[in-house]
């Protein structure tokens, strides 16, 4: 079973206005050992360039590197895997693109979605949003820590809490 590091960071420069590689370097310096590159508005070539810049930084730091939504880009840069949303390719299709030995994670928003992702063979499920978030154009309502507990009891794979988690709320999520 996949072992996930304690700090899973999302490289999303919309939140900080920093270039993706600079943000990735700062997150790695702060202790992140898994980076997920999330550039929603980027065209394919921009995403590819950012992924090509970040993957060596992550690997030099001993961190895993995932690309959001795009198994083709993840495959092209030899990322460790991909993180899929509910409207992205199914897990099986992502695995065919990535090949064996790569990580496939899936965002889920309720217990049924988490079970479906685990049954489909996801290596981990992300659960949320736990708290209110500004990273989505049309955010879902916060689900709270109750959802984390319910999913933990329902699926055999590792879970990651997502959505609005800050330095102040992280200890509550990890408890």
Q: What is the DSSP string of the chain?
A: -PPPPS-EEEE-TTTT-S-HHHHHHHHHHTT--EEEE--TT--HHHHHHHHHHHHHHHHHTT-EEEEES-HHHHHHTT-SEEEE-TTS--HHHHHHHH-TT-EEEEEESSHHHHHHHHHTT-SEEEE--SS--SSSSSPPPP--HHHHHHHHHH-SS-EEE-SS--TTTHHHHH-
Distance separating alpha carbons of residues 113 and 53, to the nearest angstrom: 33
Question: Considering 18, 40, 96, 136, which one is annotated as catalytic?
Answer: 136
Which one of 95, 102, 107, 143 is the catalytic residue? 107
Given 17, 38, 70, 100, the catalytic residue = 38
Active site residue 107: yes
Backbone angles phi, psi at 107, to 5 degrees: -75, 135
Token pair 């394919």 is at which residue? 44
**Inter-residue contact 143 to 129 (CB < 8 Å):** yes
Active site residues: 38, 107, 136
């Amino acid at each position: 079973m996949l072992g996930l590091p304690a700090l899973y960071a999302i490289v999303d420069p919309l939140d900080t206005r920093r270039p993706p590689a600079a943000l990735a370097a700062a997150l790695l310096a702060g202790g992140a050992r898994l980076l997920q590159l999330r550039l929603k508005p980027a065209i394919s070539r921009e995403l590819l360039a950012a992924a090509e810049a970040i993957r060596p930084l992550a690997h030099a730091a001993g961190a895993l590197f995932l690309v959001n939504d795009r198994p083709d880009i993840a495959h092209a840069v030899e990322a460790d895997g991909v993180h899929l949303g509910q409207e992205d390719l199914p897990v099986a299709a992502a695995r065919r693109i990535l090949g064996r030995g790569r990580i496939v994670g899936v965002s889920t928003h309720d217990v049924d979605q988490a079970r479906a992702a685990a049954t489909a063979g996801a290596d981990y499920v992300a659960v949320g949003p736990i708290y209110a978030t500004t990273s989505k154009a049309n955010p879902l309502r916060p689900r709270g820590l109750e959802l984390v507990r319910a999913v933990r009891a329902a699926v055999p794979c590792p879970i990651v809490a997502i959505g609005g988690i800050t330095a102040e709320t992280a200890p509550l999520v990890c408890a």
